[in-house]
Every structure is written in C-alpha cells, then in structure tokens.
Amino acid sequence: MQTRQSDEVETTCPYCGVGCGVLAKVAADGAICVRGDPEHPANFGKLCSKGLALSETMARDGRVLHPEIAGERVEWNTALDLVARNFADTIAQHGPDAVAFYISGQLLTEDYYVANKLMKGFIGSGNIDTNSRLCMASSVAGHRRAFGEDIVPGLYDDFDEADLIVLTGSNAAWCHPILYQRMLTARRVRGTKIIVIDPRRTATADESDLHLPLDPGTDVLLFNGLLAHLARVGAMNESYVAKHTSGFEAAISLALADAPSSEAVALGCGLPVADVRLFYDLFAATERAVTVYSQGVNQSAHGTDKVNAIINCHLATGSIGKPGAGPFSVTGQPNAMGGREVGGLANQLAAHMGFENGEDVDRVARFWRARNMARTSGLKAVDMFRAVGDGRVRAIWIMGTNPAVSMPDSSRVRAALKRCDFVVVSDVVRTDTTRFADVLLPAAAWGEKDGTVTNSERRLSRQRPFVPTPAEVRADWRIICDVASRMGFADAFEYADPAAIFREHASLSAFENNGARLFNLGALAAISNGDYETFGPRHWPQPNERPDDARLLAGGRFQTPDGRARFIPVRQEGVAQPANSAFPLALNTGRLRDQWHTMTRTGLVPRLMANAPSPVVELHSRDAAENEMDEGDLAYLATPYGFARAKVRINDGQKPGQVFLPIHWSGQYAVNAGTGPLASPVTDPFSGQPELKHVPLRLRREVKA
Ligand code: SF4
C-alpha cells in the first residue's frame, strides 16, 4: 500500500467510533481525494463504504453558509449578541437550569470541552447532554459501577490476540466494519471462534461460528447463566476474585437464583439448550475471550445491568486488562469517547470525575476559576427535551445533531422545539432540526475542522483541515467562546487556537489529582503548538505505573475506595414494554451498512443510497402472512408513540413477532419513515439511555405492491 505522500493531510474519519485514519488532499483539478491511512493503527489503510465515499459528502448543497435570525441572513455580531442576550436574560429571570445545551459525538474534543466549561462552570447548570446518551451511556454507567470510573480496558490489538470473540448486541459487520474485518482476520490466522448474540440474523451473525438469537431483553439472564456456569465448572480465577474484586457472593447468589441451569437459561432466552451449553463451555475453556458489546446492549431500559452482567463474567475469570481478553464496549460515534473524557454528559465532570464527589466539583471549580459552578447533575437527553416541552427549559442550543429526527418519540421533541422560547442551532447543513432555529449558526464541516477525537480504544487522533473554511463559517469552539465572551466570561474563554484548549483540557485532567489517580491523564498538558500540529495517533490516558503501556487496569487496581473492582448483582428484568393485544409485535431498530445517522451526509451519495433507496421494514414470513403482506407492499407501522411507513421485506432472519426498521430516514427524505416517531422514550434508570431496541408495534398493509 502506498505510504503517505507529502501533499496528503492526515485526518480521521468523522463517522463511527472505530476512528479510522484518513489521508486527504485536494488534487490539481480541484477534486478531493480520500484514502485510508496505511500507518494509522485503527485501520492500517482500510476504509469501509462510508469512509470511501467521504469526498462525495463535501458538496455545498444544503450547507449553512451564514448566520440567520428567523430565517433571515444577518451579521455574525448580530446573531451572537442575540444568543448571548437571550441566554443571559433567561438565566437572570428563571435561573441557570432554564437553559440547556444538547451537543453531539460529532463535535471535536476541544468543542466539547468549551461547551462543557461554559455550561457547568459559568452558567452554573449541569444541563449539557449529548446525543452520545443514545449511544453508550449505559456502558459509562456500567464501567463506573464496576471499575469506579468510566474506563474502557480493551484495545483493538485484543481482537488479534483473542481465541474467542463474543459479539453481543453488535452488528459489527455493518456498524464497525473495519474492526469486524480485523476479527475475521483473527479467525483466519489464529482460528479465533466468533459467537454472535443478537435476536436478528445479521450480516455479523451470518459469518459467526455460533449465533444465539436470544429473545429481546434476556441478555442479563444469559450472562447470569454464564457466571453461574463458570462458578459451577471451576472456571473462575479464584485468586483474582479474592485479591482484586468485591461483591462476588451477592452477584453469584443472584445469578444462581436467576439462572439455576443451562436449561432454565435456554427456556428464558428462547434458545436451544445445546447452543447455550456450547457458548458456556467455550467461554469457560478459553483464557483469551473478548466480549464486544454495542447498542444492542446499551440501548435498553436495563442497559446498565446488561453491561454489568457481562463485566461480572470477566471479573470472575480475571480477564480485565489482559491481552486478548476482557469486556469491550464499542462506541457508535467518532468522538463519543472524547466527550466522555471531557465530561460532556449531564452527570459527569472532566477527567472521569463526577458530581457525586464534592471534592471533585471543588477541584474543577478551582481549576476553571468558575464564576458559577454547577453542583448537581443536569438533565439527560430524554428528560432535557421533556423539560423543553413543559417550559422548564426556555432556551436551548443544539450543536451538530438532529434531535427532531433522532430522539425517541420525536413528534413530542418537535412539538417541544416549536413551543420553546428560544432555539439556537449550530450545524453544517440544514436538517429537520434547523427548521426550529430562532438563530442558525454556520459551523465548520469535516475537512475544515481542526482538533482531536478519541476512538473506542481510547486512541486520540487529529482531525485536520484540508479545504478552506467558507468565509462566514466558524469552528464550533470559536462560536461557543464568542457567545461566552458576550455573556461576560471573556477572560475564561480566550483561546488562540484548538491547541490552547487541548492543553487546558489535559491540564485539568492532571490538576491536583495525578498522584492519587491510577492514570496519567495530564501527560499532554504541556504539548506545544508544533507537537499538537504533528502528533500522531496515541492512547490516552496512560497508566501511572507503566507509562509506556496503553493497557489499563492490568495491575488489578481500580479507582474505587478499596481499590477493588465491584461485582454488581443484577437480575433479569425483561423489556420495559412487552408486546400486547393492541401492539402484538416488537420493533427493533438499527443501522444499515451504508448510512450514517439521519443521512445528512451519506444521503448525498447515490452509490450509498443504491442498496437501500427507501426505508424497508423487515419481518418474518409468518408475520407477513398473518398480516396479509407481501414483499414490496407499503406497510403502516404504529407504536404507542407514533406512526411511520415503510416497504415490506420478508426476511426469516427476523424472529417471528419481531420486526426491524433502520433508524436513518427523516423528514428530509420521507415523512414519518424513520424510527424517531415510533421509538420509546423509556430510559434506563442509571444511564438515562432510551430503550431503542424494543417497542410494541402493530402494522397493516397500506398499499399493495
Ligand atoms: Fe469511518 Fe467507521 Fe468506516 Fe472506519 S469503519 S471508515 S471510522 S465509518
């Protein structure tokens, strides 16, 4: 593969959490050329269909190119003055919790940092949350419960070194394709076995050695059964459990009560008992086993319990921070992990700290010289839009995301935005959400942005500009700082460039706490502008004890009061809203191979649209027959929250009683075609993540093919 050329810019793909390195340049004829970076350790030169089409998504069609107030073009100063004045007035009249920011895993770490600082340190509210809440919040909560902080112990190298990879709630073949290719290579080279746990027979399941199509909501039962099995057959690492963990007795007694035998698990999960035994025996016999989990686990009313059920099994075998082994949560968005590092969730502070510890809050307040430090968590995504709807939040700023489509119960979200006193949207292109903007601000796009992102294995990479930014477009961090200055906080938001923000972020991570922490979070606090400019992909944070080793938690010490990881006793609870006589089916949702989120970029590329030009609902032939439907019919779908329409595809990879609809379509492409209007706003009590994988549904044929 051709090595990097001097005219190519090293940057990072803006789509998924794999974080593939991209080489980009503008050719002499003006054409944009993009290829995989052969030296980037996330992808070694490969790109998936979405990454390969990046150059075709950079057209100016639909681009927001200048600020607007009520749809009319205005000067930047006019728009910024209005935003700052309305936010300040709302805070003065109704308090800081009457305003909110809803941000995005698309933002760079530097953007995230200043948005978080403005809301939590200067406005004085925790009301900043992100669309990553819909993606990985249950993993964050599960890590915090088990490890005492939000640390992902795994590395991509583990996929090369594992003898067993268990993918649960992850259609990696479509959603994280480059990582999935790496797993298939391990199978070819090393003989790694792949087990897929998913109610649907996905493209990932098609390639697996064993597919376990469990019933929705039974993941805790399956992993409780595994924990009980490990204990029964003597496959636990007793010395690790004794030295490095707490709470085993409570967890195993609940697991044994929940899942007394493989037969009971098979019955409860709707699986053949022989397949359950095969999974359990293989896991028990394999020292190097990685469990990869994603949205199918996280997007659940019991997502945090599911995460902890998985982690419990790896604590039992002592496989945390070991090569080729461990639990591995894969993030959906390009900078979901960077957002976690800066604390860009309503219930987090920076550097893995949280609101529950008053000393942490004071530490951050001192570092920021905060004028008005938030003391408590703010509203999580679903609750935030409820508060917009009932008037508790009167001014909201939405950055780089499209909640009018992507939030569950999106009809209610649109109604809330319509009635909200003041809506600011900063984005690259016009979306369903920009229609609600009182003030619309033009933000820099991929190829113009300059900063850092962090991928699923905590590897920092740079996004670098390689095309000029349009004259009236600004970087997100710059827009946020411009507003902060006008609100009277200029001294705290005077940054010359993204490198200055990054240094402050890294310094905060080290501030006052380095000695007491397991990880050297502040290693990059003094990075020069030159080094920031040239730095290549690197892991962060690093362990204090072994600074050259990227692997975390290998030493068996955890950021808990007693230094031990915690087993969390969890019980099988099922789905929040079972199917019923009015809504006899269950809707599952997910991504397609060639599309990204609400298609604001990938929808621009004809060859990405070719495989699925319109929304398709997939259902089992039995359900099609019972509902008198044929392939290609137009179906009307209804849940307790709303309705949508999609073409029927008959697919016996669906379990009877369950239908699948992709998340991508929005009002831009087809009215009521995506999952937003249908999806449930029921959330996990610990993470606030909505249950997007299961909602009761009915359907009928509307138009015959
Ligand atoms: Fe981009 Fe993800 Fe595809 Fe890599 S796998 S090219 S990061 S979309």
| Predicted confidence (pLDDT) per residue in 461-486, tens digit | 999 999 999 999 999 999 999 999 99
Q: What kind and span of H or E run contains 441?
A: strand 439-442
Task: Centre a 10 Å sphere on the Cβ of residue 6 and count the other Cβ atoms it contains.
Answer: 5
Pocket flag, ligand 1, residue 141 (CB < 6 Å): no
Question: pLDDT tens-digit profile of 317-335?
Answer: 999 989 999 999 998 777 8
Residues 293 and 382 in one domain: no
Query: pLDDT exceeding 70 applies to what percent of the chain?
Result: 95
Token code pair at residue 378: 């703010």
Q: Examine the domain organization and report whether 519 and 638 are in the same domain.
A: no
Does any ligand 1 atom lie closer than 6 A to the CB of residue 592? no
Q: What gap in Å lies between CA 468 and CA 448, rounded to an integer?
A: 6
Cβ atoms 666, 609 nearer than 8 A? no
Identify the domain containing residue 659 by its residue range: 585-703
* CB of 453 closer than 6 angstroms to any ligand 1 atom: no
**pLDDT over 90 at 503, yes or no:** yes
Same domain, 448 and 318: no
- Cα of 615 vs centre of ligand 1, distance in Å, is 22
Asked whether the predicted pLDDT for residue 668 surpasses 80, the reply is no
State which ligand 1 atom lies nearest to the alpha carbon of 18.
7
Contacts of 613 (CB under 8 A, 6+ apart): none
Partnered with residue 704 across adjacent β-strands are none
Q: Are residues 146 and 81 in the same domain?
A: no
Q: Helix H segments across 560-605?
A: none
Q: Which helix (H) or strand (E) covers residue 248, if one does?
A: helix 248-258
Q: Do 316 and 189 reside in the same domain of the chain? A: yes
How buried is residue 357: exposed, middle or buried, by Cβ count under 10 Å (0-12/13-18/19+)?
exposed
687 confidence band (pLDDT: 50, 70, 90) = very high
What is residue 41's predicted lDDT score, i.e. its pLDDT?
94
In order of 101, 296, 397, 578, 702, the CA distances from 659 in angstroms are 34, 15, 35, 14, 17
pLDDT at 427 over 70: yes
Cα 343 to Cα 107, 120, 150, 154, 351, distances in angstroms: 13, 10, 10, 20, 7
CB 509 within 8 A of CB 527: no
**What average pLDDT does this structure show over 521-533?**
84
Is 244 domain-assigned? yes
Question: What is the mean predicted confidence (pLDDT) over 38-49?
Answer: 95
Please tell me whether residues 144 and 205 are part of one structural domain: yes
Whether residues 475 and 623 fall in one domain: no
- Residues 516, 455 share a domain: yes
d(CA 24, CA 464): 9
Check: CB of residue 55 under 8 Å from CB of residue 608: no
Structure tokens at 260: 């007394």
Question: What average pLDDT score do residues 57-69 get?
Answer: 87
Instruction: Please give the distance, rounded to the nearest whole angstrom, from the Cα atom of residue 538 to the centre of ligand 1.
Output: 18
Identify the pLDDT of residue 539: 84
42 lines ligand 1 (CB under 6 A): no
CATH number, domain at 693? 2.40.40.20
Tell how far CA 662 is from the center of its chain. 17
Overall domain count for the chain: 4
| Mean pLDDT for the chain overall | 91
Assessment of whether the complete model's pTM goes beyond 0.90: yes
**CATH classification of the domain holding 228:** 3.40.228.10
Q: Which CATH number goes with the domain that contains 43?
A: 3.30.200.210
Cα 526 vs. chain centroid, distance in angstroms?
29
Specify if 4 maps to a domain.
no
Tell me which residue has its CA closest to atom 4 in ligand 1. 20
For residues 677 and 415, give the distance between their C-alpha atoms in angstroms, rounded to a whole number.
12
3-class secondary structure, 22: strand
Contact 394, 421 (CB under 8 A): yes
Of the residues 330, 352, 378, which one is the last residue of a structural domain?
330
Distances (CA, A) of 378 to 375, 381, 421: 9, 10, 20
* Predicted confidence (pLDDT) at residue 182 exceeds the cutoff of 50: yes
**Residue 284 pLDDT greater than 60, yes or no:** yes
Query: Out of 325-339, 392-406, 594-608, which region has the weakest mean confidence (pLDDT)?
Result: 594-608
Dist. CA 386 → ligand 1 center (Å):
33
> Is 3 part of a structural domain of the chain?
no
Query: How many CB atoms are closer than 10 A to CB 651?
Result: 18
Index of the ligand 1 atom closest to the CA of residue 51: 6
Checking if the pLDDT of 60 tops 80, the result is no
Is residue 245 located within the same domain as residue 350?
no
Give the CB-side neighbour count of residue 467, counting CA atoms within 13 A. 23
Q: How far is the CA of 453 from the centre of ligand 1 (A)?
A: 13
Q: Cβ–Cβ contacts within 10 Å for residue 642, how many? A: 18
DSSP 480-493: HHHHHIIIIIGGGS
Contact indicator for 580, 586 with CB cutoff of 8 Å? no
Mean pLDDT of 243-272: 97
Q: Are 502 and 604 within one domain?
A: no
Between the CA of 106 and the centroid of ligand 1 the distance, in Å, is 13
Angle at 592 between CA 467 and CA 676, to 5 degrees: 95
How far apart CA 573 and CA 252 sit, in angstroms, is: 17
Dihedral angle, C-alpha 86, 87, 88, 93, nearest 10 °: 80
Average pLDDT over residues 200-207: 94
Element (H, E) at 337: helix 336-341
Residue 677 in tokens: 């209007």
**Is residue 467 assigned to a domain?**
yes
* Domain presence at residue 454: yes
Contact (CB, 8 A) for 665 and 674: yes
User: Is a pLDDT exceeding 50 seen at residue 670?
Assistant: no
Closest-CA residue to 332 (of 179, 156, 177, 135): 135
Atom of ligand 1 nearest to the CA of 176: 5
Same domain, 46 and 82: no
Backbone angles phi and psi of 393, in degrees to 5: -100, 120
Token pair for 311: 């982690």
Residue 334 alpha carbon, nearest atom of ligand 1 = 7
Q: Could you tell me if residue 498 is inside a domain? A: yes
Single out the residue in 283, 300, 330 at which a domain terminates. Answer: 330
Choosing from 505, 527, 549, the residue where a domain stops is 527
Residue 542: pLDDT over 80: no
Asked whether residue 486 is assigned to any structural domain, the reply reads yes
Q: How far is the CA of 560 from the centre of ligand 1 (A)?
A: 35
User: Are 99 and 217 in the same domain?
Assistant: no
Residue 657 CA to residue 562 CA, distance in Å, equals: 47
- pLDDT average, residue stretch 126-132: 94
What digits encode the pLDDT tens for the residues 624-641?
999 999 999 999 999 998
175 Cβ closer than 6 Å to some ligand 1 atom: no
540 lies in a domain? no
Q: What is the dihedral of CA 292, 294, 297, 303, to 10 degrees?
A: 110
Q: What is the pLDDT of residue 517?
A: 59
pLDDT at 527 over 80: yes
